[in-house]
Structure 1
Amino acid sequence: MLPVKQELKNFTNTLSSVPKLGVGLLFQAPLQSFVEANFDSFDFLEIIPDTFWNDLGASVTPRYEENQNAQKYIEFLSKHKPIIAHSIGLSIGSADWFDIIHVAQIAKWQRQYHFSWHSDHLSFSRLLQAFGHPIDVGLTMPVPYDAEVLDILVERINYVHQEVSVPFLLENNVYYFEIPSQEMSEADFLNQLTARTGCGLLLDLHNVYVNAYNHRFDPWDFLDKLDLTQVVEIHLAGGMVMEGFYLDAHSGVCPEVVWQLLEKVLPKAPNVAGIVFEIFGTYYNHMGPELLKQELSRAKAIWKTNR
């Protein structure tokens, strides 16, 4: 059992009071020139905090070696725009290991940079090898949608809420294979998870489209079954088809159907505080600043219409 230090704050009632930030951009180092030249094209920035430190391993103290130059740059950015954290390192779905040191590091950064909320992925990426050494598989692997996993996640989310003083969101995951004989649908699992914990959702609409494309289901049906009142953030991105699969590559412009999903979802999701466009830095030169500004401008127009 995870330690409980205090009575848990009820985050269910705080989602509606999260500051409405508008349209943001996921920051990566190759986007630095774009960010500095186009501060008016976005309202806030989302950072991946794990990319600003080196994880020296769970057996090392202190475990995290922080990049001082990178931190100074975050401080520079925070003077111009609000900063939000979207982590990739918690691996909250790992069956035999929950990383409370990672949670403490996120809590430290929240105190330092005053994130209005923070998020991670509803997935696992770490497995324990022999002798208890973790290995990172390099992918956000899907968790089974069953009661046992739900109970594990509820306890862990409650611990995150206890340690970090702002709302915590989990992102719906991409999956390229389906786990057979699951007890619940994805929408039902997410609804139960948020109802039991007050955790918010980071609804990645491109992930929904990727899964719908690869597994041949109707994305509108999935969204109709989801409790959209728990959505605090929405992600948009582009991808590519490779060997018959559509990949969540964050490689360019957002597909038209994803824009249509956004226009349908946003009026039904009253607690959305931000829309974030994601582009991997490795694809930025291919996309170019003008196309990126167009994507952000379109998102801003939809935000303005619905907010």
Structure 2
Amino acid sequence: MNASPPYLGFGLGLRTCYFEDIIQTQPDIDWLEIISENYFVDGGKPWHYLDQIKERYPIAMHGVSMSIGSTGEINFDYLSKLKRTIHRVDPKWISDHLCFSSLGDFNSHDLLPLPYTEEALAHLCERLRIVQDFLERPVILENVSSYLTYHQSQMTEWDFLCALHRQSGCQFLLDINNVYVSARNHGFDAMDYLNAIPKQAVAQVHLAGHSDFGSHIVDTHDQPVCDAVWQLFQCYAQSMPPVNTMIERDDNFPPFETLMAELNQARTLAPRSWRSNG
């Protein structure tokens, strides 16, 4: 299950505060990404608006609770809810995070990185196979920002992703901001990471903001995309075929026009070939 999603262009994360703006103004957005778990309910405000919005815009689904790297039992109750939502939304693709967040009854409510070992790689490949077989859809995995490393790790994060792609066919949602955050926190070169990932393994790109505390930075997704991340995206994009790219904002929401300005900046910085989705 490694079929690439279609190239749609430039999108935004769909958040409740922007429902009316999108319906009323029908802005120049190529696609929208929803948080999967927000639509596990049968009705209510989210579905009221999404049913209208998805008539005009293609939708992608992005989950935050799969915890695919956990060593606990796979949560088939969660997967059943996700599968029902997939059938109702009919998204262009689905994604979640390459991490673990829960173990048994414990939920950290955070996206925790895995140790980059051969054992973790085999474990992740097997769980990904089971999840994809159940959903009957490929799952794209996003790199998370990190603030710690494991003594047990046998390879770099990017080597781990490359090995996962080779062994499973898994494609990735590359969050450029998360790469930058981890590079700053751990002292590696962000371009070394990005250039190591096979081009055919990249299905989507996220651009977002963070909070800089000097000695470390935290992936908060509540700030504008900073100049350093824009520069990283522009440099990376020059060597890439067109990749679905979106602005992600999860808190401290600006006026919709401000978010659209960021989206248009992404369009401007990307190669010309990216700006045609036809």
TM-score normalised over the length of structure 2: 0.91
| Partner-residue secondary structure (3-state), 1:98 | coil
Q: Deviations over 1:132-191 (max 9, x none)?
A: xx1211110111111111111111111222233443100011111111231111011001
Amino acid at match of 2:262: E
CA distance in 1, matches of 2:170, 2:131: 10
**How many pairs does the alignment contain?**
274
Correspondence for 1:194: 165
Of residues 62, 73, 95, the one that matches 2:49 is 73
Which residue does the alignment assign to 1:58? none
Unmatched segments (≥5 aa) in structure 1: 1-9, 54-64, 129-133
Structure 1: distance between partners of 2:74 and 2:236: 33
- Counterpart of 1:237 in structure 2 is 208
Corresponding position of 1:283: 252
CA separation of 1:179/1:214 partners in 2, compared to 1, >3 Å: closer, same or farther?
same
Q: Within 5 A, what are the aligned runs for 1:36-47?
A: 36-47=23-34
Cα distance, 1:35 vs structure 2: 2.6
Cα distance, 1:268 vs. partner?
3.3
The answer (yes or no) to whether the contact 1:125–1:140 under 8 Å persists in 2 is yes
**Which of the numbers 234, 239, 263 marks the counterpart of 1:296?**
263
Distance 1:81 1:304 in 2: 23
1:259 match: 230
> CA separation in 2, counterparts of 1:271 and 1:109?
28
Q: Which runs of structure 2 are paired with 1:75-94 in the superposition (5 Å)?
A: 75-94=51-70
- Letter of the aligned partner of 2:272 in structure 1? T
How many Å separate the matches in 1 of 2:95 and 2:144?
A: 13
Larger CA deviation: 257-266 vs 138-147: 257-266
CA contact (8 A) 1:24 1:43 kept: yes
Which residue, out of 124, 127, 134, partners 1:153? 124
Question: Per-residue deviation at 1:224?
Answer: 2.1
- Report if aligned partners of 1:253, 1:291 keep a CA contact under 8 Å in 2: no
Match of 2:11 in 1: 24
Q: Distance in 1 between matches of 2:232 and 2:25?
A: 27
Paired residues for 1:200-239 under 5 Å: 200-239=171-210
Q: Give 1:243 shift.
A: 6.4
CA RMSD of aligned residues (A): 1.9
Question: Partners in 2 of 1:293 and 1:83 — Cα distance?
Answer: 17
Matched, 1:120 2:96: yes
Instruction: Give the whole-Å Cα distance in 1 for the aligned partners of 2:125 and 2:28.
Output: 38
What is the alpha-carbon distance in structure 2 between the residues aligned to residue 224 and residue 163 of structure 1?
Answer: 32
Q: Give the structure 2 partner of residue 246 of structure 1.
A: 217
Q: CA deviation at 1:126?
A: 0.8
In the alignment, which of 71, 80, 97 is matched to residue 95 of structure 1?
71
Structure 2: which amino acid aligns with 1:279? Answer: R
> In 1, are the aligned partners of 2:16 and 2:46 still within 8 Å (CA)?
no
8 Å CA contact 1:23–1:296 kept in 2: the answer is yes
CA separation in 2, counterparts of 1:40 and 1:304?
A: 22
Contact 1:116 1:166 in 2 (8 A): no
More moved, 146-155 vs 68-77: 68-77
Change (3 A) 1:166 1:185: same
For residue 228 of structure 1, report the CA deviation from its aligned partner.
2.6
Distance in 2 between residues matched to 1:38 and 1:223, nearest whole Å: 36
- Return the letter of the residue paired with 1:226: I
